Amino acid sequence: MTEEIGYTALVMAFLLALYGAGAAAFGAKRQRPELVESARRAMLLSWPLISVAALAIIVLLVSGRYDVEYVAKVTSSTMPPYLKVTALWGGQAGSLVFWSWLMAAFASAAGLRRWDRDRDLLPWVIVVTMVTLAFFLSLVIFVENPFRRLWLDPVGNTVTAFLRPAGARPLVPSDGQGLNPLLRHPGMIIHPPMLYLGFVSFVIPYAFAIAALVSRRTDDRWIRVTRRWTLVAWLFLSLGLLLGGRWAYDVLGWGGYWGWDPVEIAAFMPWLSGTAFLHSVMVQEKKGMLKHWNVLLIILTYALVIFGTFLTRSGVLSSVHAFAQSAIGPMFFAFIGITSIVSVRLLLDRWGALRGENQLNSLISRESLFLLNNFLFIIILAVCFLGVIFPLASELFTGQTVTVGPEWYERITGPLFAGLLLLMGVAPLSAYGSSSWRLLGRQLWVPGALSLVVPAGLLLAGVRNWAAVLGYSLAGLVALVTLYEFWRGALARHRRHGESVPLALVRLAGRNRRRYGGYIIHLGVVLMALGIIGIELFQTETQGTLARGEQLSLGQHVLVFEGLTQFGTPDGREVSRAEVSVYKDGRFVGRLFPRQDFYVAANQPMTIPGVRSTLEEDLYLLLVGWEPIAQQGATFKVFHNPLVNFVWLGGLVFILGTLVAAWPDRETAPVRRRVPAGAWASGD
Amino acid sequence: MRQPIAALLLAGFLAASEPPALVSAQAEEPTEDEVNAIAKGLYCPVCENVPLDVCPTLACKQWRETIREKLALGWNQEQIEQYFVEQYGDRVLAAPPAHGLNWAVYLIPPAVFLAGAAVLVGAMRAWRRPPVDHGMSQPAAAEDPYLDRLEEELRARG
């Protein structure tokens, strides 16, 4: 019964989404506001319906209904209840329902806002969000039905179907396969929802952009309305990437947090285009420029959101043939193609009316530097896209699969990221409109001169890695420029209003949250850069097989193998856990317990590191192998990861800055119509 | 797509196919770090995107043993990589070798960069108009009335 309720709710939501899209478009074309209102209500109703379906899946998961294929695949009797609930997004069908649920929630939130000033945008926002929702619901209704049950046909074959096939009888396995062990980590429980939230939130600014195009609005209203949506999307996507990195560091056991894996890059690509968008919209708001570019960027971001989901859900990453054989892959491919073509066609139709209202006065003005920033982000995006696509293209055209590994990405993107750091150091001091090298030099010389302390200090300390010296120098420049911006602003308030400097800082940030939130984000990036450069350029490692009491050295650290224990756990793991004493500079600093968990049912090992963490460094110890009978010898791999914790610290600052920038405030800015409404006609 | 079992069998076969006498003939056993230095740049066909030096599967463990044996025989990194390429194809390498279609991954990024730079320069030139001489320098513009005032204050301070 539960599955019937859930499936019916999904079908009803799908029909409502189709109706909503159709009624909104028809209502807008025929000037019938009652139809648009009806569509809005359909949109609002879709969320409770999908909530019913999601709840039905959770009930099935928690109650151990192993006759349902999805439940049997992602849960088992040994899993704790909270993992059974989070298994909603642990498999393909459930994650698509979860995506749809979030999409409906965001669409409803958009539908509930005050539309007084934007009535003309409403129908097309409904159309875009409901078409997107209908697409994802069609995947779960027609292809990846999470309510499909297991049956035994008359000849004894196992079949899956929602309705009982003729002559078949129900198949009820005694237990399920259980969630992929790699996904049973707190980081992995939160990571997918964060990414999905980020993905789904970006649909809203895209919907407003398309609505502005269709309804012929040339002002920057769509950008102002969606500014916060975009920041929220970016926040969640950033959080998702950070949590994914932390999960990889804690669970995957290879000593790092980012492996340039296609699944990681699938989430990174919309983040890159979204970051470019967040910068370039400021130019449109301030100068009325880059209108085409901003629409193009949000179209690109939307396409990459769908593409990212496609990459991880279609099986295409395993093999192009797997993609061709799956029904879901071609559907995604078609949807991305159709939406991109329609969006770009719409943009081209309105091209003439979207001309900029200003011109570049200087190559070092703020808007020029933002353009350069966008250029670098898009080149990095293109590199990532090539790296993900090339193995598939190679397999398709030559039959040869190839690997595009981290070294390729790092070699190409390293200088581009350095360029972005340089821009982060310079752009905050540049002016909009007219600017000159003299002016920029005057602004830059104090922090620039102070930042020379960094390379000088590094060279005096004996660092001869030019990439590290350059990277840290740029990070130093960004930090000093950013702090200088805070300082001069706070000082001005202090002198003008007599406020104490701390109070002036708080009020300064409070009065222009986006600007100063952005600066906090820049400081977060600086901290992350310290960690990334540290681990990328100065990571050391060694491996050795030790008998009990023997030691392994790495730099200042000595590790002594004390013993190994093996035991089973109630959740079906066979655990082998080593005990290792750690000495630094001859002084005992603690014990580490690296272990290998073998999930018997899934036949899958997991290497869980033992980590000694300080702000300065991580000592990251892996149990690679051991002698199972004597338990006397074990092989360890140990990494020394300098400054890696600055990645996480920087991530926290980064998130804090985004929260400051996205924090709601009263909307006071008037709608800016820089171009007469009639100008649209010239572009048609 | 090769199946995991087939890869395991192949790896096992390769590991077992070296004559033990040859291995023992080498005076010095390669260290695990020497093995990992080569394994770091190799990927087995089964464990997607996990380099060989940290992959926990049995197949990868056997590959590492093969590397150890080859090192003991005096093979260098290039020979060992070539050996795995001949057995499993180019996909075992961390980056596509520069031949045929693979050139694309090395040529497209600089080409995209140059093309993008050309478009950017073209766009900037098209948008640019002669700079207006204001007779004095202007500091960074503010983004709201408050910051306009703030900038005025900063200007006043010189």
Segment A146-160 shows an average pLDDT of 86
CB within 8 Å: B109 and A386:
yes
> Which residue, A486, A363, A370, is CA-closest to A424?
A370
Task: Name the band, by pLDDT with cuts 50, 70 and 90, for residue A126.
Answer: very high
Contacts of A428 in chain B (CB under 8 A): 140
Contacts of B109 in chain A (CB under 8 A): 379, 382-383, 386, 412
Give the model confidence (pLDDT) of A361-420 as tens digits.
Answer: 777 888 889 999 999 999 999 999 999 999 888 988 888 888 898 999 999 999 999 999
Task: Name the band, by pLDDT with cuts 50, 70 and 90, for residue A314.
Answer: low
Whether pLDDT at A496 is above 90: no
CB within 8 Å: A492 and B157:
yes
pLDDT for res A599: 83
pLDDT for res A666: 59
Segment A278-296 shows an average pLDDT of 88
CB within 8 Å: A431 and B51:
no
A563: left (phi over 0), alpha (psi -120 to 50) or beta: left
What is the least distance, in Å, from the CA of B154 to any CA of chain A? 7
Segment A668-680 shows an average pLDDT of 41
pTM: 0.86
Q: Which of A55-69, A244-258, A620-634 has the lowest mean pLDDT?
A: A620-634
Whether pLDDT at B149 is above 60: no
- Are A523 and A481 within 8 A, CB to CB? no
Segment A459-478 shows an average pLDDT of 92
pLDDT for res A614: 93
pLDDT for res A64: 85
Coil, strand or helix: which one is A596? strand
Q: Smallest Cβ distance to A402: which of B57, B91, B143?
A: B91
pLDDT for res B151: 57
Coil, strand or helix: which one is B48? coil
CB within 8 Å: B101 and A406:
no
What is the least distance, in Å, from the CA of A493 to any CA of chain B? 8
> For A409, which residue in chain B has the nearest alpha carbon?
B95
pLDDT for res B153: 53
Whether pLDDT at A104 is above 70: yes
In eight-state DSSP terms, residue B128 is B
Whether pLDDT at B7 is above 60: no
Residue bearing the bigger pLDDT, B37 or A628: B37
Mean pLDDT of chain A: 87
Give the model confidence (pLDDT) of B50-63 as tens digits.
Answer: 888 888 778 888 88
Query: How far out from the chain centre does Cα A420 lie?
Result: 19
CB within 8 Å: A439 and B144:
no
Instruction: Supply A372's token pair.
Output: 């350069």
Whether pLDDT at A682 is above 70: no
Contacts of B147 in chain A (CB under 8 A): 511-512, 515
How many other C-beta atoms are found inside a 10 Å radius of the C-beta of residue B37?
A: 16
What is the least distance, in Å, from the CA of B111 to any CA of chain A? 10
Q: Which of A161-165, A334-338, A353-357, B14-18 has the lowest mean pLDDT?
A: B14-18
In eight-state DSSP terms, residue B141 is P
Residues whose CB falls within 8 Å of the CB of residue B91, separated by 6 or more in sequence, listed in order:
A391, A400, A401, A402, A403, B43, B45
Query: How far out from the chain centre does Cα A221 lie?
Result: 26
CB within 8 Å: B49 and A625:
no
Contacts of A181 in chain B (CB under 8 A): none
**HSE toward the beta carbon, residue A484, CA cutoff 13 A:** 20
CB within 8 Å: B124 and A622:
no
Whether pLDDT at A101 is above 90: yes
Residues whose CB falls within 8 Å of the CB of residue A153, separated by 6 or more in sequence, listed in order:
A159, A165, A167, A168
Contacts of A253 in chain B (CB under 8 A): 54, 56
Residue bearing the bigger pLDDT, A163 or A335: A335
Segment A565-594 shows an average pLDDT of 91
Whether pLDDT at A211 is above 90: yes
Q: Smallest Cβ distance to B146: which of A394, A397, A512?
A: A512
Contacts of A366 in chain B (CB under 8 A): 140-141
Q: Smallest Cβ distance to B104: which of A282, A390, A400?
A: A390
Angstrom distance (rounded) from CA B148 to CA A388:
46
Whether pLDDT at B72 is above 80: yes
Coil, strand or helix: which one is A95? helix
**Which residues face A567 on adjacent strands?**
A575
CB within 8 Å: A434 and B138:
yes
Coil, strand or helix: which one is A242? helix
Task: Name the band, by pLDDT with cuts 50, 70 and 90, for residue A673.
Answer: very low
CB within 8 Å: A434 and B131:
yes
pLDDT for res B136: 39
CB within 8 Å: A401 and B91:
yes
pLDDT for res B129: 58
Task: Name the band, by pLDDT with cuts 50, 70 and 90, for residue A78.
Answer: confident
Task: Name the band, by pLDDT with cuts 50, 70 and 90, for residue B44.
Answer: confident
Segment A105-122 shows an average pLDDT of 87
A31: left (phi over 0), alpha (psi -120 to 50) or beta: left
CB within 8 Å: A403 and B91:
yes
Contacts of A407 in chain B (CB under 8 A): 41, 94-95
What is the least distance, in Å, from the CA of B85 to any CA of chain A? 11
Which of B44, B50, B57, B113 to mutate to test binding with chain A, by most A CBs within 10 Å of its CB?
B113
Instruction: Supply A437's token pair.
Output: 């090298």
Segment A474-480 shows an average pLDDT of 94
Angstrom distance (rounded) from CA A391 to CA B49:
12
Task: Name the band, by pLDDT with cuts 50, 70 and 90, for residue A502.
Answer: confident
Whether pLDDT at A624 is above 90: no
**Would you call B129 exposed, middle or buried from its count of C-beta atoms within 10 A (0-12, 13-18, 19+)?**
exposed
> For B43, which residue in chain A has the nearest alpha carbon?
A403
% of chain A exceeding 90 in pLDDT: 47
pLDDT for res B141: 43
Q: Which of A45-59, A275-289, A610-624 has the lowest mean pLDDT?
A: A275-289
pLDDT for res A165: 82
> For A432, which residue in chain B has the nearest alpha carbon?
B141
What is the least distance, in Å, from the CA of A408 to any CA of chain B? 6
Coil, strand or helix: which one is B134? coil
Q: Where are the alpha helices (DSSP H) in A91-159?
A: 92-111, 122-138
Interface confidence, given as ipTM, is 0.82
Whether pLDDT at B33 is above 80: yes
Residue bearing the bigger pLDDT, A674 or A580: A580
**Would you call A8 exposed, middle or buried from its count of C-beta atoms within 10 A (0-12, 13-18, 19+)?**
middle
Q: Smallest Cβ distance to B129: which of A259, A361, A489?
A: A361
pLDDT for res A337: 93
Whether pLDDT at A282 is above 80: yes
Give the model confidence (pLDDT) of A4-37 as tens digits.
Answer: 899 999 999 999 999 999 999 999 888 888 999 9
Task: Name the band, by pLDDT with cuts 50, 70 and 90, for residue A613.
Answer: very high
Total beta-carbon pairs less than 8 A apart between chain A and chain B: 181
Contacts of B61 in chain A (CB under 8 A): 625
Query: How far out from the chain centre does Cα B109 lie?
Result: 14
- Are A477 and A451 within 8 A, CB to CB? yes
Contacts of A514 in chain B (CB under 8 A): 143
